[in-house]
């Protein structure tokens, strides 16, 4: 087929602002004709100004290199023929195009008026599951050689190669998908429709033969799904390998097989635990290989019983690792077939009926258009329909909320898609699986559901188990947020708005149900009053909240206030209750009206079209959510339960968008025991379950202490004595003895010196966001680490995964993190050589749950600090410690600025809870020398 001619371009420039005299210093134009690179033009240009130092460092282009280069206007005669009649392409095309237009204007030429295609935008659509759309990340994932990033010729050439791969992928797509993409593409920012339309026109001239793995159903092209039946146990091949020789024979097939005695012991412990049904807690140190350690015995037990074993994790990352890496290894290793499945909450899965209906609607905003195009291509690839596979923009996530599954309603539209339904498919897969992988949140919610979504099971393995009690507590609590409540009212609307209230009446009128105008007017007044009272009530809540909260330690804008009986007795609480009473009355009246409307529609269900039935199901779901909000209002405001903590929270920068009222049971252990431990056999495992060698804190919090159980620690096989050491600076001021600004200044000074000794490769963990922010800004503004890449959670752009990836990409990088960065990030090897802990990770004592938990412990005669705050901090400290040494060859240094680890009576609890390593106190100069010598030694 004949494609347009593409000119793929990349420019290196003196900066980002062509209107402020920034100029092109290096340009490359790659010509593609019929999917073949036919020519490349590259040249340096004299920008008639000096090149800034950061640009020189980034690109390697110096003033000397461009001093004798031509001016752009001199080379324009060679460049213009390349652009003539071509499609202009670049990675972030608007950047390059504005520089091209500026240079053409200065040279006295007309601007480029042809179509322009952005390969960032195109990559988002064509590879919708990619973690990153940066050029370097994409080319690495595609296996393209890109050894000189930020050099125009190299960047342009790999972008051209990437464009050819995109064209080839589009050509392989079904016409049904391409035609939908073509209609949507006119809503993109760049002119990708030119490319898509050319492929459509060519496809229309040939009879289409779909690949065997695809099908077109009701105009939507999908990947076919097949439920694999589990192999039944019927031979000696299912006998668990008890002897070491049997394990060795099995595992020797692994590439780079490495005997791990801790892993093998873990397998035996778990298999014996499953056979005896005695609960087990296993702390498996870093490097034990715990995933394989529990999966192998779980598979054999599943084969023996014919029932799946449930594996629950906290993070999506670990779920993917188990499914894509560990289970695949075991499937190749074992002499029988093994099936595995992932099962999550309903809202993770796409509703194909909703999506197909949304495709028929007029063009949406840009984010919705992009999301629709991403999903169309994803449906050609996904076997799960799980949103966690997709990389959507924040606007795309809003679109997902409109097309995700949200109920069991089976209208005509949904029935038509029943055989293609991803959630039903996931449940069928789980029924046939040996191992079912899920997450803590879904498992916890399923425990309290009226009927379980999981297939019948007897055994559950809970990995990342140190999170399970907290997640269960959060799932058992209530959460009423202002934004979701206002959205609920907005979906019903008033009679002045074209929302459900009007649509349902129109439906009733269609089926000749008499509409009482007086009733409609009365209900409209009620709805208007409800909107007004809701606004007034939230204003009252905001006033109360602002009056009774102060800045929380470590969070300069996040605030919380606990709703104790003392707080509820304050005079200004009364308006909150009065407003809630008025709201409750109006909500009840409107709910009664909605139920009457629902009952009036029921007799006409079979006569309705698929779209009408879907509308009625939306109405039913709204009534269900409406009732839920009424119950929450009653519980949170009027009838709090004993052993429950309730609080308000919000961000003072944007209170209306963040305000919520939450509740949580003070203890989830009893509920976990009743719902899970008394009914199923459970294995808990994590790298951090013990405090000073004891499981007591974990077993009490999880409910395990009230059950028969075994608890075992399997130490890490790594040589920490040899490969790790800790330094505690002795010349940093105590934070409690000096103003915070003075402390931050000293900290920034210390970190700057250490960073230079470590040559970057440093992770700095904070417990407070505001201290991290001030430290980061002070270091950045000092200019002392100009050649270093500074990355900070919540400040520099990107998710935790993206920040971690960027940290690994640059040699001289420093990563600042709080909260979630204390665990879950995995940076093996030399990319992370120095770990800094600014403070011991105690939770703020004024945090509502901690405060209420402490009071409860005191009532029982316990010690809140030693019984709760300390063990919780130690477990988090152990998680932070675990970031440094991730393999047997890793070497690293830990610097702890909090001198309490040495000077306090409880400090030894932290030190005795981690592997035995050399520890010394040192001054700033000594610390810098220790770091430098230690890391030099590791390089040798």
576 token code pair? 């909150």
Report how far residue 749's alpha carbon sits from residue 728's, in angstroms, rounded to the nearest whole number. 16
Residue set of the binding site: 284-291
User: Order of strands across the sheet with 279-284?
Assistant: 340-342, 435-439, 309-313, 459-462, 681-686, 279-284, 709-714
Q: Which of 850, 858, 847, 840 is nearest to 906 (CA)?
A: 840
Check residue 832 and give left, alpha or beta (phi > 0: left; psi -120 to 50: alpha).
beta
Q: How far apart are CA 831 and CA 833, in angstroms?
A: 6
- The span from the CA of 541 to the CA of 633, in Å, is 13
* 3 state SS of 304: helix
As a whole number of Å, the end-to-end CA separation of the chain is 57
As a whole number of angstroms, the distance between CA 561 and CA 843 comes to: 16
- In the numeric block, which tokens belong to residue 704? 């395990």
Contact 712, 273 (CB under 8 A): no
List, edge to edge, every strand of the sheet that includes 724-729: 789-792, 813-817, 762-765, 834-837, 892-896, 724-729, 919-922
DSSP state, 866?
I
To the nearest 10°, the Cα dihedral for 265, 269, 270, 272? 130
DSSP, collapsed to helix, strand or coil, labels residue 321 as helix
Four-point Cα dihedral 885, 890, 891, 894, nearest 10: -20
Q: Which two tokens stand for residue 902?
A: 């040495």
Report d(CA 633, CA 641) in Å as an integer. Answer: 13
**Which residues make Cβ contacts (< 8 Å) with residue 157, sequence separation at least 6?**
28, 30, 37, 40
Residue 199: DSSP 8-state: H
Phi, psi of 44, deg, nearest 5: -80, 155
Residue 113: both structure tokens together: 């008026």
Q: How many CB atoms lie within 10 A of CB 121?
A: 22
Q: CA quadruple 915, 921, 927, 929: dihedral positive or negative?
A: negative
CB 87 within 8 A of CB 167: no
Binding-site positions for ATP: 284-291
Note the helical H segments in 659-715: 669-672, 696-702
- 817 three-state secondary structure: strand
């Amino acid at each position: 087929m004949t494609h347009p001619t593409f000119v793929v371009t990349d420019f290196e420039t003196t900066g980002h602002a062509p209107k402020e005299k920034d100029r092109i210093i290096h340009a490359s134009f790659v010509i593609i004709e019929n999917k073949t690179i036919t020519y490349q033009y590259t040249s340096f240009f004299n920008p008639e100004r000096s090149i800034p130092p950061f640009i020189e460092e980034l690109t390697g282009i110096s003033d000397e290199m461009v001093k004798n280069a031509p001016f752009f206007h001199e080379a324009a005669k060679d460049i213009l023929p390349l652009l003539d009649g071509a499609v202009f392409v670049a990675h972030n095309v608007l950047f390059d195009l504005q520089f091209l237009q500026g240079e053409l204007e200065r040279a006295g030429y007309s601007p480029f008026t042809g179509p322009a295609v952005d390969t960032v935008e195109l990559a988002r659509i064509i590879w919708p599951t990619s973690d990153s759309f940066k050029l370097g990340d994409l080319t690495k994932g595609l296996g393209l050689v890109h050894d000189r990033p930020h050099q125009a010729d190299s960047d342009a050439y790999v972008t051209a190669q990437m464009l050819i791969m995109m064209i080839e992928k589009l050509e392989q797509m079904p016409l049904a998908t391409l035609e939908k993409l073509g209609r949507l593409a006119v809503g993109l920012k760049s002119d990708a429709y030119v490319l898509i339309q050319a492929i459509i026109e060519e496809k229309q001239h040939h009879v289409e033969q779909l690949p065997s793995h695809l099908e077109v159903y009701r105009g939507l092209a999908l990947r076919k799904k097949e439920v694999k039946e589990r192999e039944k146990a019927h031979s000696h091949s299912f006998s668990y390998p008890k002897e070491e020789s049997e394990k060795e024979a099995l595992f020797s097939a692994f590439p780079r097989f490495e005997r791990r005695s801790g892993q093998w012991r873990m397998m035996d412990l778990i298999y014996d635990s499953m056979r005896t049904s005695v609960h087990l807690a296993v702390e498996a140190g870093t490097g034990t290989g715990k995933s394989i350690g529990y999966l192998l015995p779980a598979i054999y037990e599943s084969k023996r019983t014919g029932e799946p074993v449930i594996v629950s994790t906290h993070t999506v990352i670990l779920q993917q690792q188990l499914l894509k890496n560990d289970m695949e290894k075991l499937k190749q290793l074992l002499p029988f077939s093994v099936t595995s499945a992932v099962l999550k909450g309903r809202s993770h899965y796409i509703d194909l009926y909703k999506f197909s209906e949304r495709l028929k609607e007029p063009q949406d905003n840009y984010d919705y258009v992009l999301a629709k195009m991403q999903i169309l291509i994803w449906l050609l690839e996904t076997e799960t329909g799980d949103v966690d596979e997709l990389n959507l923009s924040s606007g795309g996530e809003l679109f997902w909320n409109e097309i995700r599954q949200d109920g069991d309603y089976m209208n005509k539209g949904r029935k038509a898609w029943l055989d293609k339904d991803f959630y039903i498919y996931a449940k069928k897969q789980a029924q046939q699986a040996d191992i079912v992988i899920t997450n803590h949140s879904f498992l916890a919610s399923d425990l309290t559901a009226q009927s379980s979504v999981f297939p019948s099971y007897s055994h559950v393995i809970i990995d990342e188990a140190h999170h399970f009690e907290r997640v269960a507590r959060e799932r058992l609590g209530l959460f009423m947020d202002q934004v979701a409540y206002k959205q609920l009212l907005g979906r019903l609307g008033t009679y002045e708005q074209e929302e459900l209230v009007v649509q349902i009446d129109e439906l009733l009128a269609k089926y000749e149900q008499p509409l009482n105008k007086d009733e409609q007017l009365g209900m409209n007044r009620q709805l208007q009053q409800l909107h007004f009272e809701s606004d007034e009530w939230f204003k009252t809540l905001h006033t109360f909240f602002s009056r009774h909260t102060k800045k929380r330690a470590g969070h300069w804008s996040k605030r919380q206030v606990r709703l104790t009986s003392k707080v509820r007795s304050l005079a200004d609480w009364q308006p909150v209750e009065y407003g809630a009473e008025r709201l409750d009355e109006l909500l009840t009246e409107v709910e009664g009206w909605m139920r009457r409307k629902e009952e009036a529609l029921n007799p006409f269900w079979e006569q309705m079209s698929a779209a009408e039935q879907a509308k009625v199901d939306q109405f039913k779901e709204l009534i269900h959510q409406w009732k839920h909000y009424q119950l929450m209002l009653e519980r949170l405001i009027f009838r709090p339960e004993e052993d429950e903590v309730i609080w308000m929270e919000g961000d003072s920068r944007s209170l209306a968008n963040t305000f919520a009222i939450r509740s949580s049971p003070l203890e989830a252990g009893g509920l976990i025991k009743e719902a899970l431990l008394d009914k199923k056999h459970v294995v808990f495992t994590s790298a951090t379950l013990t405090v000073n060698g004891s499981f007591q804190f974990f077993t009490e919090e999880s409910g395990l202490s009230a059950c028969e159980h075994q608890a075992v620690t399997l130490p890490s096989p790594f040589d920490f004595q040899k490969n790790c050491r800790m330094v505690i600076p002795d010349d940093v001021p105590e934070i409690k003895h000096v103003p915070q600004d003075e402390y931050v200044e000293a900290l920034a000074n210390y970190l700057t010196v250490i960073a230079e000794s470590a040559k970057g490769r440093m992770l700095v963990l904070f417990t407070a966001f505001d201290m991290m922010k001030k430290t980061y800004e002070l270091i950045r503004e000092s200019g002392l680490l100009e050649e270093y890449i500074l990355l900070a959670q919540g400040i520099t752009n990107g998710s935790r995964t993206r920040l971690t990836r960027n940290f690994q990409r640059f040699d001289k990088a420093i990563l600042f993190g709080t909260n979630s960065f204390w665990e879950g990030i995995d940076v093996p090897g030399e990319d992370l050589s120095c770990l800094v802990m600014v403070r011991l990770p105690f939770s703020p004592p004024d945090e509502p749950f901690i405060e209420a938990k402490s009071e409860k412990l005191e009532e029982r005669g316990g010690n809140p600090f030693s019984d709760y705050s300390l063990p919780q901090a130690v477990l988090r400290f152990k998680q932070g410690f675990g970031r440094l040494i991730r393999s047997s060859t890793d070497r690293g240094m830990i610097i702890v600025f909090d001198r309490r680890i040495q000077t306090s009576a409880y400090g030894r609890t932290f030190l005795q809870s981690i592997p035995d390593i050399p520890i010394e106190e040192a001054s700033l100069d000594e610390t810098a020398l220790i770091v430098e010598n230690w890391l030099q030694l590791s390089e040798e």
